[in-house]
Amino acid sequence: MAKVQRPRLTFAWATVWVTIFAALAGGPAAPAAADTPVRIVALGDSLTAGFGLPGSDVFPVKLEKALQAKGIAATVANAGVSGDTASGGLARLDWSIPEGTEAVILELGANDALRGIDPAVTRKALDAILTRLAERKIPVLLCGMRAPPNMGADYARAFDAIFPALAEKHGALLYPFFLDGVAADAKLNQGDGIHPTSGGVDVIVTRIMPDIEQLIARARAARGS
């Protein structure tokens, strides 16, 4: 009687069976989670919204493109509102940061300083935003701002101290000054001397990128917690 040969289990078939067994067990394929883009929301004012710029040149769009160019899977939603203060950001927090958000870039405070709002009010609003995002287990990159010189030394001292103090309190990442390398450079600002040009946004994206990568790493780590 002839010996019956069993079919050989090749690597390709082994892969198929592993995938089937994983699906039956309810487990996703291992690489899928790592390849899923991290969903980031940029919560801010006109510096985030992109006042005076075409849609393709605003900070969230350029940041997302820069991440893609580095092979980093992430989306960056624009939740910037021109003229918004820290208190305004707090008031719209729930609908600005929808369910499924995995990380937040918090850029608020510039309008508070320009309007001379009491730094205690700004601090309280940002503190509340960070508290509520922490309760939702969403990692945050807090972008610092500096008071304009005309507000006086005492105001600037109180205002500028808000950001490092709150970052330390909440364990948030801190980018000390959102307009680093751009502020006071006429070539990188629009005619109002406040809002960056497209080139200015490029500078911001380049300088903030290492901190964004840390934020994404925290978001990916939180997926497994």
Domains, the chain, with CATH or none: 37-223 (3.40.50.1110)
| Look-up of token digits 């997926």 | 223
| DSSP of 101-126 | --EEEEE--HHHHHHT--HHHHHHHH
Q: Which of 35, 170, 192, 211 is catalytic?
A: 192
In this predicted structure, the answer to whether residue 192 has a pLDDT above a threshold of 90 is yes
CA distance linking residue 143 with residue 135, whole number of Å:
20
Catalytic-role residue among 35, 45, 46, 198: 46
Question: In the prediction, which pLDDT does 33 show?
Answer: 56
* Per-position DSSP letters for 135-194, written without gaps between them: HTT--EEEEP----GGG-HHHHHHHHTHHHHHHHHHT-EEES-TTTTTTT-GGGB-TTSS
Reply yes or no on whether the pLDDT at 12 is more than 50: no
pLDDT at 90 over 90: yes
The overall average pLDDT reported for the chain is: 89
Tell me if residue 195 is catalytic.
Answer: yes
Q: How many residues does the chain have?
A: 225
Q: Is the pLDDT of residue 209 over 90?
A: yes
pLDDT one-digit tens code per residue, 115-135: 999 999 999 999 999 999 999
Instruction: Give residue-wise pLDDT tens across range 31-51.
Output: 455 679 999 999 999 999 999
Pick the more confident residue, 184 or 22: 184
Taking 80 as the threshold, does the pLDDT of residue 5 lie above it?
no
Q: Catalytic pick from 45, 160, 170, 195?
A: 195
Read off the pLDDT of residues 142-159 as tens digits, 9 standing for 90 and up. 999 999 999 999 999 999
